[in-house]
Chain A
């Protein structure tokens, strides 16, 4: 395990958010948040409930449109990201409440992650024999490698709606991985899991980062996990950034401690 005190050698900045402010009517979800993510790192976003962490991810992949600020991804700066552009340029994510396609099987769900890589149109699909079949087989092989990686072979043909929560989260990770993302956004990937499942998921996340070099930004509440696997951490509270640095620094930051434990009134 890397020494938690020193950052490992990391790449260029792959994502930078600058001055992001997001409000829903009167509710200010994010106020002037800025931080960056370096290529190849595991960046954790933490904070108490309602701090705006999910909203931040939603801005990055284009689901929410911030009123102010810029998002710079792989050199391109935009005021508001469009979800299709985000997906097409290599951003994939998982969701806090699992956004799988409940009516489809595990295999089909992960195959949908390959959609942007597939080139056939409906006419070729209707004929099937020829280009469509070849593409199906090619992508099936790729998806099977992900299935092997995540050890979910046995549940290939089961409709995901019937799977237990922990496995659904794994399938969702598989769908995100199928897109061969450069930046993977994970929204509470360990929520609701027991220790064993958390260990498995941590292993998968670390393997993805190690083997495929995927940059990972994750929201997580389990402090043990966060301190263990992240390279750097951003801390949000009430929509503002209150700390930013390596795990050791953040752990000792007074503001962070107060945000989580509250301030003692003498």
Chain B
């Protein structure tokens, strides 16, 4: 009886009793959701350009962070390190596309998904051999520490992350909508053959996509790396991006943001208010159950395109 109360009415009573705290938790959740969004963004970009969910994007985030840290440790100035990192991630992404995705171009999505899991394992092993498995700290002088807004406690870092994400998304949205290159990218995402037939240079477009994805990976890598330390559990982040993409839709940039926010908020709020009754650590599965529910009722996500089957 107590248990039933604890999972149905109890949490709401708690929220009503201390709305300030709830707001804090909610904001904390939203802001951590921003980090998810940043990773999801990379996936959306690749998916829009190639129609493939590239699981190894997660590992790319890790590579970005590792390369950056490694270079900085060697004394390379930050701006140069960032530039080199983008080059490295672009090169890796390009290699993946050429060696793996190109030969598999006509296969079912699930085959491609499994192939990218394979790539992920390969890169993970390679990365561990190259850089070792130690956790490294990434300190780029980003602000940290809390501050209080309207009685609510917020971490400065989270705010910076949110602002960064916001700027990134706005730039990307403008890029896709307003520029000729952006238009070409959208054409490629829609139909490769049609795009080719109107003269869009596919290879160049793909290079641009991979570079942008590499940039996004770098930003995400920096954010996550500062937050968690640069370590290999970052690769698991890929798995977390999946529910975000399901919620937001695989092809939508705003969807990635909204999806990330929802997942982040749901995890934190769920953990704090429903967690104790259920034994804690609900964060492990709440995102996936949310995704499952979405898949049952709205498989294309909040912003994605409807899928129609033909025979």
**Is B311 interfacial (CB-CB < 8 Å)?**
yes
What residue of chain A has the Cβ atom nearest to residue B310's Cβ? A97
**Is A165 interfacial (CB-CB < 8 Å)?**
no
Interface residues of A in 77-105 (CB under 8 A from B): 95, 97, 99
Tell me how far the C-beta of A130 lies from the nearest C-beta in chain B, rounded to whole angstroms. Answer: 37
Annotate B298-311 by CB proximity to A: 1 below 8 A, 0 otherwise: 00000000000001
Interface residues of B in 42-89 (CB under 8 A from A): none
Main secondary structure of the interface of B (DSSP, over half): loop
Main secondary structure of the interface of A (DSSP, over half): loop
CA distance A13 to B228 in the complex (A): 74
CA distance A63 to B311 in the complex (A): 9
B311 contacts across to A, CB distance below 8 A: 58, 63, 95, 97, 99
CA distance A97 to B310 in the complex (A): 11
CA distance A99 to B311 in the complex (A): 8
Tell me how far the C-beta of B103 lies from the nearest C-beta in chain A, rounded to whole angstroms. Answer: 19
Interface residues of B in 274-311 (CB under 8 A from A): 311
What residue of chain A has the Cβ atom nearest to residue B308's Cβ? A24
Tell me how far the C-beta of A86 lies from the nearest C-beta in chain B, rounded to whole angstroms. Answer: 14
What residue of chain B has the Cβ atom nearest to residue A64's Cβ? B311
Interface residues of A in 238-260 (CB under 8 A from B): none
CA distance A63 to B309 in the complex (A): 11
A95 contacts across to B, CB distance below 8 A: 311
Interface residues of A in 90-122 (CB under 8 A from B): 95, 97, 99
CA distance A58 to B311 in the complex (A): 9
Tell me how far the C-beta of B269 lies from the nearest C-beta in chain A, rounded to whole angstroms. Answer: 39
Tell me how far the C-beta of B308 lies from the nearest C-beta in chain A, rounded to whole angstroms. Answer: 9
A97 contacts across to B, CB distance below 8 A: 311
What residue of chain B has the Cβ atom nearest to residue A25's Cβ? B308
What residue of chain B has the Cβ atom nearest to residue A97's Cβ? B311
A63 contacts across to B, CB distance below 8 A: 311
CA distance A95 to B311 in the complex (A): 8
Tell me how far the C-beta of B306 lies from the nearest C-beta in chain A, rounded to whole angstroms. Answer: 11
A99 contacts across to B, CB distance below 8 A: 311
Interface residues of B in 122-138 (CB under 8 A from A): none
What residue of chain B has the Cβ atom nearest to residue A58's Cβ? B311
Tell me how far the C-beta of B104 lies from the nearest C-beta in chain A, rounded to whole angstroms. Answer: 18
Could you list some 5 contacts between A and B, CB below 8 A? A58-B311, A63-B311, A95-B311, A97-B311, A99-B311
